[in-house]
Structure 1
């Protein structure tokens, strides 16, 4: 388990992490989310002893990273896939990592096969593509068969097959009872991968809860209705004091948008007043919607809308 307790990091006038506390528990994939500049990478670096906290501490199984004997056997990390000597081969890079932590060098071939790099094991890492570099970084994280994994943007540069593979891998590892902390800007992928979310903004904790609860609490679901009897059904909704709005779909057809209701309720209401529906769809809330809603005040850099477009189109 990872315990972050009152973690703070001050860089001169900038407080990158501000009294941050959370736990990453075994048996689940914990997504670590936040806008650019939120302090995610700094937090992960402090957990593994690469940055010294200004205050607070981070514990791994109740102790600091610096006190772990052969740390790669306890915690595997992918924080910067480019942190490889360009003139070393993939196998040589992993071999020295293994030898430095008392890991049998036979494990090198195992992890290279695991990440799909066996055929390029003797090639220099400096010639690797972005995706291949990510796979080598994942091999390094898995080298010690660790109980804990910290992965920062592990699918960066991977093709769809690689992204699906990483998702399956981390979920399988969590199912084995391991502790997995993973950061990514691909929110649609995190929605499929993470069981639990820790969300931060400007170095402070915003949310710490199961993914399902985060999405449900912080964004709305809408029922989309189309009918040839729009006026009649609008009147029925008004009589039931049900909120709704009108819009047009991509084909220019008039639709009703009914927030926070179920399709069962809306369908039964239409049946009770004799209004046939041509569409009855539940548009579920997404992790992206919830994330944008919760972190809008914590974004460090805001892009302007292109000329001639409304700001909400960006």
Structure 2
């Protein structure tokens, strides 16, 4: 288990991490999310003893990282996949790590096979693609067969097959009872990978909850309806003072979108008014929607749509007409 309590890091006038407290439990994959500049990498570095906290503590299994007797066999970490000598081959890089940590040489071949680099084991790491470098970094993290894994953007640069493989690997490791903390900007992937989420913004804790509850509590759901009796159902909705929006689906068919209602409620209304529905479905917001809802105020760097506006000129507003 990873325990972070009151963790704070101050760089001059900038507080990168601010009184952060959370725990990462074994047996599940915990996603670590936040906008750029939120303090995720700094927090991971403090957990691993690479940065000294201004205040607070970070422990792994009740001990600080520097107090672990043989850390590589207890904690596997990937913070920077490029932290490899470019003139070393993949095999020699791992052999150097194994020998310096008292691990058997056979473990090198095992992890190379596990991450799919056996065929390029003799090639220099400097010639690796970003995705291959990520695989080598994961091999290094897994070298000591640790019970705790701390991974910063492990799927960065991987192709869809590689991303799917990492997802399966992390879930399998968690199923073995290991503690897995992983950060990623690929929110759609985190929605499929992480069981629990730690979300921070500007160094502060925003959410510490299950992925399901995070999406449920911080984003809206919409009931989508199609009917051959479109106008009749719109009248029924107006009579019940139910808000709705009229739109179209990808096939150009007219739809009625009803926010913050259940399919049971809308289906019952259709039944009571004798309106036959062609579609009655629930559109749930994504993890990305929930993430933006919760962290919008904590985003440090904002882009602009400069191509659509001119300085000093406000973009015209358009209003949707209700039928």
Give structure 2 stretches of 5+ with no counterpart.
Answer: 310-314, 318-323
Cα distance in 1 between the residues matched to 2:77 and 2:281: 42
Matched, 1:62 2:66: no
Matches within 5 A, 1:15-164: 15-164=15-164
Deviation, 1:311, is 11
Q: Against the structure 1 CA distance between its residues 311 and 2, is the aligned structure 2 distance closer, same or farther, given a 3 Å change threshold?
A: farther
Deviations 1:2-48 (A, max 9, x none): 00011111111111111101000000000000000000000001100
Cα distance in 1 between the residues matched to 2:306 and 2:214: 31
Matched, 1:183 2:183: yes
Contact 1:5–1:58 at 8 Å: present in 2 too?
yes
Cα distance in 1 between the residues matched to 2:137 and 2:91: 12
Cα distance in 2 between the residues matched to 1:91 and 1:25: 32
Contact 1:219–1:289 at 8 Å: present in 2 too?
yes
Cα distance in 1 between the residues matched to 2:43 and 2:316: 32
Could you tell me which residue of structure 1 aligns to residue 170 of structure 2?
Answer: 170
Deviations 1:224-280 (A, max 9, x none): 112233332122223334332223444554322111222232223212211122332
Instruction: Say what the alpha-carbon RMSD is for the aligned residues.
Output: 1.7
Contact 1:237–1:243 at 8 Å: present in 2 too?
yes
Runs of 4 or more, structure 1, over 6 Å off, are 309-312
Deviation, 1:101, is 1.7
Cα distance in 1 between the residues matched to 2:91 and 2:307: 51
Cα distance in 2 between the residues matched to 1:91 and 1:5: 38
Secondary structure, counterpart of 1:278 in structure 2: strand
Contact 1:219–1:285 at 8 Å: present in 2 too?
yes
Query: Which deviates the most, 237-246 or 32-41?
Result: 237-246
Cα distance in 1 between the residues matched to 2:57 and 2:267: 54
Contact 1:305–1:311 at 8 Å: present in 2 too?
no
Deviations 1:134-170 (A, max 9, x none): 0000000000000000011001111111000000000
Give structure 1 stretches of 5+ with no counterpart.
Answer: none
Deviation, 1:217, is 0.1
Cα distance in 2 between the residues matched to 1:225 and 1:304: 35
Contact 1:30–1:180 at 8 Å: present in 2 too?
yes
Secondary structure, counterpart of 2:307 in structure 1: coil
Cα distance in 2 between the residues matched to 1:307 and 1:121: 47
Deviation, 1:75, is 0.4
Contact 1:304–1:311 at 8 Å: present in 2 too?
no
Matched, 1:235 2:235: yes
